[in-house]
Structure 1
Amino acid sequence: MNSNSISLNESALLLSISAGDESSYTLLVEKYWQKVLQHALSFVKSYPVAEELTQDVFIQIWEKRKKLSEVNSFENYLFIASRNLIISHIRKKLIETDSLKGEKLQELFLKPDEQYEFQELVKIINEGAALLQEPRRSVFLLSRMEGRDADYISKELGIATRTVRWHLVQALNFLRNYLHKHYNINLLTLISLGLKFFS
């Protein structure tokens, strides 16, 4: 079976589901359940939680089934739907436990083939940050790696809030130049990968 016939079959299936056909919906769930489950499991590390998230993904797809008639690529649609639910779950856990930091959460916004590049850029940013003098290095790490606000950093480091902001601006300028000079990485590249260190 070629890719065109697969695409046509998928489109017909989605149209049928959008019209409320439960048997077509069951076929779709059976086809993609394991893929969504593995995706969720790779982030939450708990089978029962991953199973619950997977169930929620397919419930949401059924509830919003009328939109399926407009979907060009169901795999992309499914990836976005599952990613958003996983992010929502982890955000709730962040509030409850504060166990994950900004770069890990941000990584979830990326497709799998972008995650390696993201991780490499984080390493390069850390490499540049290591060249900063104190307290500028600590200001940057606390602000951009741990997500702390200026008031927290001020108390933690014993410096004025305005001094925190000044050090942060200087650190970001240094790192932008460092990335461009040593790796030819510009701000647009960072933004395209969703990096929030420089915003």
Structure 2
Amino acid sequence: MKSPLLTSDESVILLELASGNEMAYNYFVEKYWQKVLQQALSFVKSYPVAEELTQDIFIQIWQKKEKLSEIKSFDNYLFIVSRNLIITHIRKKLIETESFKGEKLQEMFLKPDEQYEYKELDKIINEGANLLTEPRRTIFLLSRVEGKDTDFISSELGLAKRTIRWHLLEALNFLRIYLHRHYGIRLLILLGIGLRSFISSFL
């Protein structure tokens, strides 16, 4: 259950976040979202990609919240987490680009067995998405399936941007757990046939 914040002392709020207080988490998301987004945007030069990276950064903050009780400066910690994830993303894209350059034209398309696995993976993700409550399900589908940004979703659904962000973070957390819990071995197989880029958004 969410408990209200009774202080404006960030060091105290940080301890609240470390103990799992969602209000404390919302405080840091609201305060630092734009800063992280602009940092990501300065590197990747794509707003949708920067927004996804920002979501992933705050998801990692929540997943590793217990560690926050050991840090003194959330700003510094957030900078390190952001830098590491952005660098990982850039390295991954460089590897994918080099890999893609070396492929023959006929290898650019999925083979029949890979097409089947791709459809199976899509089915698995849809199963998980169907378990999400509304409006979280719709927000997730608009963001990660249709590629819409927060501004569009906010306007389309008439919800505040911070509400959209919260639902996206919660949806992605849920789907990561769902995929690992129900399809752990299957995902390893799918990764083995080269569908890493499609899966990586949900792991």
Larger radius of gyration: 1
TM-score past 0.5 threshold: no
- TM-score, with normalisation over the residues of structure 1? 0.45
- TM-score, with normalisation over the residues of structure 2? 0.44
